[in-house]
Amino acid sequence: MDQEHQFKPAGRFSWLVSTIYIVFLLLPIYWLVNMSFKENGEITGTFSLFPQNPTLRNYAVIFNDPSWYNGYINSIIYVGLNTIISVAAALPAAYAFSRYRFLGDKHLFFWLLTNRMAPPAVFALPFFQLYSAFGLIDTHIAVALAHCLFNVPLAVWILEGFMSGVPKEIDETAYIDGYSFPRFFVKIFMPLIASGVGVAAFFCFMFSWVELLLARTLTTTAAKPISAIMTRTVSAAGMDWGVLAAAGVLTIVPGALVIYFVRNYIAKGFALGRV
Amino acid sequence: MLEMRNAAKLVGGEYHIHPTNLALERGTLNVLLGPTLSGKTSLMRLMAGLDRPTSGSIHFDNVDVTGMPVQKRNIAMVYQQFINYPALTVYDNIASPMRLAGKDKASIDREVRKAAELLRLTPYLDRTPLNLSGGQQQRTALARALVKNASLVLMDEPLANLDYKLREELRAELPRIFAQSGAIFVYATTEPSEALLLGGNTATLSEGRITQFGSTIHVYRKPSDIITARTFADPPLNFMEVIKSGHELEHQGGSRMAVPSHLLHVADGPVTVAFHPHHLGFASQTADAPQLRAKTLISEITGSESFVHLEFGSTRWVMLAPGIHDIAPDADVDVFLDTRHLLAFGKDGRAITTLQAA
């Protein structure tokens, strides 16, 4: 009886479970890529695992039509703005939370995170009204600022985790050696939390990139993000499935690129820098 | 001269450092000795200006430096953890305080190489600290403190995390390296033996209070109270409650012994006497050493000596006996006490001043 509990080497079918898992995970993405190289007739008419007449027409449409590629440009602009603003605002805040004790610091710190728990729809209305009053509707900065609501707290939490991993004595040694605060922060401290800044920037990028509701509410034409354009592709000729699929593929690509650079730190980032 | 005038540190309504008066002279080596949490680090942080005293003031060469930012004071500090700038090379680490002071390149290079040579870091100058061993990292931190030529050098248990051999080596070198600079050298340690090896002055700390400050040998030989005596003894001191009457000390268990000559002037009544473990022995060191009967508990062999844990009445003693003794536990043994070095304390814990021992 005891022998049943002994450690057994992996069986002949141990590869099966992981293979099924990966197939299920990748299937939708594969199908998206598959569709993006097909013609509309093939997509709607037949079932094929591979494009029978591979075509780049769908991509050509996107790269040649300003109403398509401007969506990407808009998205990249406001996501980039948001990432820069969020990280720049979060760095000093995270440093304060990690190094100083002040009245209500723990409550404030927790309250920051609770901002992430409210659904974005709650904020859509006040943002719309507020930005209308300031004439910010349909600008990139409007979306970038709106996304800060979620991304600054997240970046603060991630950076605080990374900063608390740096011994306070390094700060003190630097001050004793004669470093002024700004000089210490840039020359000594930033290199130590560089991976944290990378992870925080990645998460800001990711959340801002996939967020649809606020981005769509706050823009009309000039700053319309790609995800909003993708939801409005029904034309008189019906759905252009192929172009839509190509747009989907192109939407995944930036995220995949960015994730490659921070792949070693992602787990630490999901744990908010506290591993 | 560094002076603390009634400097105290309150944290959350609790004294981390009780109001303290302390004056440290230039060119002296000062040891802060005390167990963990006794306030050594807090005291150093006050001296350095990393923390501001809640009350009282800190003066340097008669200038009030309380609240002066740490960048403006000329100090150097080495921590127990190996603290360097991980992003910079060893060379840049050592050079950084001089660069900030605005020295010219040639003299920086000369000083860095000199310090590296002294601390045997020359082969590692191009590496970053995290690629070095712990000892090399700490030597980098020491080199950085050295080149700064600070007037106050603070070392917070700098050798505690190093391996034995390196610790011995650096402990011998440190005072020599820093002595030439004429700086006030403050060294915190938990080990009484380290304080004795370093010499200089010692301040013993207990629960945020300096219990005694004076030359190391003096504090060791003549602790002013029981707390100091306990702090400055490793292996721990042994204590015995006795009643003095005339020329005799009587223990409540019935043992009697003659009063040693240096304690003859003590008033009759209850006295706490204390002695070091090496003043107990299986063999009598003097003709009139009193013989005491105790029970063995356990013995530890360190090599050439044995620590024998004894129970005498209800108190526990440690005896340091030369040679290797393999002693059965729970056996009754006769031990001899060398009473010439007995320390005596009154009821209030203060040391009873002794006449010069013959």
Give pLDDT, residue A90. Answer: 95
Q: Do the Cβ atoms of A140 and A78 come closer than 8 Å?
A: yes
B244 and B273 share one domain = yes
Contacts of B97 in chain A (CB under 8 A): 177-178
pLDDT band at B265 (very low <50, low <70, confident <90, very high): confident
Q: Chain B closest CA to A191's CA: distance in Å?
A: 6
A41 within domain boundaries: no
B74 and B185 share one domain = yes
Nearest chain B residue to A184 by CA distance is: B85
pLDDT in tens, A9-31: 667 788 888 899 999 999 999 99
Preferred mutation among A177, A179, A186 to probe B, highest tally of B CBs within 10 A = A177
pLDDT band at B177 (very low <50, low <70, confident <90, very high): confident
Neighbours of B84 (CB within 10 A): 23
pLDDT band at B340 (very low <50, low <70, confident <90, very high): confident
Preferred mutation among B70, B85, B147 to probe A, highest tally of A CBs within 10 A = B85
Please check whether residue B80 touches A, CB under 8 A: no
B271 and B170 share one domain = no
B13 within domain boundaries: yes
Contacts of B146 in chain A (CB under 8 A): none
A107 within domain boundaries: yes
Q: Do the Cβ atoms of B78 and B155 come closer than 8 Å?
A: yes
* Tokens (6 digits) for B82: 């190996």
Give pLDDT, residue A189. Answer: 94
| Mean pLDDT of the region A222-243 | 77
Domain range for B324 is 238-345
Nearest to A170 among B76, B83, B144 (CB): B83
Least confident of A62-66, B151-155, B186-190: A62-66
A220 within domain boundaries: yes
Give pLDDT, residue B183. Answer: 87
Nearest to A173 among B83, B87, B100 (CB): B83
Least confident of B20-24, B189-193, B258-262: B258-262
Does residue B15 sit in helix, strand or coil? strand
Of B205, B231, B257, which closes a domain? B231
Query: B97 preceded by cis ω (within 30°)?
Result: no
B177 within domain boundaries: yes
pLDDT band at B22 (very low <50, low <70, confident <90, very high): very high
- For chain A, how many structural domains are there in total? 1
Of B231, B256, B286, which closes a domain? B231
What's the helix, strand, coil split of chain A in %, to 5? 75, 0, 25
Rounded to 5 degrees, φ, ψ at A57 are: -55, -45
Top mean-pLDDT range of A43-47, B128-132, B174-178? B128-132
Mark out chain A residues that contact chain B at CB-CB < 8 A.
Answer: 167, 169-170, 172-180, 188, 191-192
Q: Chain B closest CA to A33's CA: distance in Å?
A: 43
Q: What Rg do the C-alpha atoms of chain A give, in angstroms? A: 24
Preferred mutation among B52, B84, B96, B152 to probe A, highest tally of A CBs within 10 A = B96
B198 and B304 share one domain = no
| Mean pLDDT of the region B317-324 | 88
Least confident of A175-184, B128-137, B251-260: B251-260
B352 within domain boundaries: no
Q: Chain B closest CA to A169's CA: distance in Å?
A: 7
Does residue A166 sit in helix, strand or coil? coil
Nearest chain A residue to B51 by CA distance is: A172
Size of interface A-B (CB pairs under 8 A): 50
How far is B215 from B196, CA to CA, in rounded Å? 10
Q: Chain A closest CA to B49's CA: distance in Å?
A: 9
B187 and B259 share one domain = no
Nearest to B87 among A177, A180, A191 (CB): A191
pLDDT band at B355 (very low <50, low <70, confident <90, very high): low
pLDDT in tens, B198-219: 888 999 999 999 999 999 999 9
Paired strand residues for B280: B337
pLDDT band at B328 (very low <50, low <70, confident <90, very high): confident
Give pLDDT, residue B56. Answer: 92
A44 within domain boundaries: no
CATH of the domain at A250: 1.10.3720.10
- CB interface of B with A, residues 115-144, below 8 Å: 141, 144
Nearest to A188 among B79, B87, B148 (CB): B87
B217 and B267 share one domain = no
Among all chains, which residue has been given the structure tokens 């473990």?
B277
B201 and B76 share one domain = yes
B353 within domain boundaries: no
Q: Chain B closest CA to A192's CA: distance in Å?
A: 7
Half-sphere exposure of A80 toward its Cβ, with a 13 Å CA cutoff? 7
Whether the per-residue pLDDT at B357 is higher than 50: the answer is: no
Give pLDDT, residue A229. Answer: 83
Least confident of A33-37, A262-266, B102-106, B336-340: A262-266
| Mean pLDDT of the region A65-76 | 88
Give pLDDT, residue A275. Answer: 56
Q: Chain A closest CA to B231's CA: distance in Å?
A: 27
B328 within domain boundaries: yes
B174 and B225 share one domain = yes
pLDDT in tens, A175-225: 999 999 999 999 999 999 988 898 899 889 988 998 888 888 888 888 888
**What separation in angstroms does the CA of A226 have from each of A35, A223, B140?**
19, 9, 54
Give pLDDT, residue B98. Answer: 92
- For chain B, how many structural domains are there in total? 2
CATH of the domain at B258: 2.40.50.140
What's the helix, strand, coil split of chain B in %, to 5? 30, 35, 35
B169 and B24 share one domain = yes
Give pLDDT, residue A10. Answer: 67
Contacts of B101 in chain A (CB under 8 A): 178
B15 and B65 share one domain = yes
Whether the per-residue pLDDT at A5 is higher than 70: the answer is: no
Please check whether residue B11 touches A, CB under 8 A: no
pLDDT in tens, A78-129: 999 999 999 999 999 999 999 988 888 888 888 888 877 778 888 888 899 9
Q: What Rg do the C-alpha atoms of chain B give, in angstroms? A: 24
Nearest chain A residue to B69 by CA distance is: A175
CATH of the domain at B108: 3.40.50.300
How far is B119 from B135, CA to CA, in rounded Å? 10
Strands (E), chain B: 2-11, 14-24, 29-33, 55-60, 63-64, 75-78, 152-156, 184-189, 201-206, 209-215, 238-245, 248-251, 256-258, 269-275, 280-281, 291-301, 305-312, 315-322, 332-337, 343-345
pLDDT band at B358 (very low <50, low <70, confident <90, very high): very low
Of B215, B231, B247, which closes a domain? B231
Give pLDDT, residue B266. Answer: 84
Contacts of B112 in chain A (CB under 8 A): none
B192 and B53 share one domain = yes
Q: Chain B closest CA to A155's CA: distance in Å?
A: 23
B224 and B242 share one domain = no
Q: Do A192 and B86 touch (CB under 8 A)?
A: yes
Q: Chain B closest CA to A269's CA: distance in Å?
A: 21
**CA angle, corner A199, sides to A198 and A203, nearest 5?**
120
Q: Do A170 and B101 touch (CB under 8 A)?
A: no
Domain range for A254 is 65-270
Q: Do B81 and A167 touch (CB under 8 A)?
A: yes
Whether the per-residue pLDDT at A69 is higher than 50: the answer is: yes
